């Protein structure tokens, strides 16, 4: 369910958490080229984790923003560009690991976009 209303978003996440073992949310948010999340997006990210998301993957700013951890769950604020080749060639891949005990960890793997939008890790 797509919505701009935080209450609708968190209710949908809570409903998914009732029936799924793992809930990974992807969201289009942020300000283009900003180095980090807005305060409203930071609050929404925390609310999504509190509602039951095991990880949050954000996109829109077209630049890589740092990953945060909230309640031991990763929030990837922005992964940059991936196959869209333009003047910004830095990107990242989100790695999410779910251990058998339910522990969720994440990390950003740097990537560079080369000719014709081809991503290269490292």
CA-wise closest residue to 95 among 77, 76, 71, 78: 76
Query: Above pLDDT 90, what percent of the chain?
Result: 70
What pLDDT score was predicted for residue 80? 86
Contact 68, 75 (CB under 8 A): yes
Per residue in 43-61, pLDDT (tens digit) is: 999 999 999 999 999 998 8
Residue 11, pLDDT above cutoff 60: yes
Residue 1, pLDDT above cutoff 70: no
Contact 64, 87 (CB under 8 A): no
Ordered by start, the domain boundaries in the chain are 6-121
């Amino acid at each position: 369910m797509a919505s701009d209303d935080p209450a609708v978003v968190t209710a949908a996440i809570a409903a998914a958490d009732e029936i799924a073992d793992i809930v990974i949310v992807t969201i289009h948010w942020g300000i283009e080229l900003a180095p980090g999340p807005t305060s409203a997006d930071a609050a929404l990210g925390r609310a999504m984790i509190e509602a039951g998301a095991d990880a949050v993957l954000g996109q829109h700013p077209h630049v890589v923003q740092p990953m945060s951890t909230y309640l031991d769950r990763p929030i990837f604020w922005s992964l940059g560009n991936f196959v869209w080749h333009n003047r910004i060639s830095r990107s990242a891949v989100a790695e999410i690991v779910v251990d058998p005990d339910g522990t969720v960890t994440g990390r950003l793997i740097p990537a560079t976009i080369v000719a014709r939008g081809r991503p290269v890790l490292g």
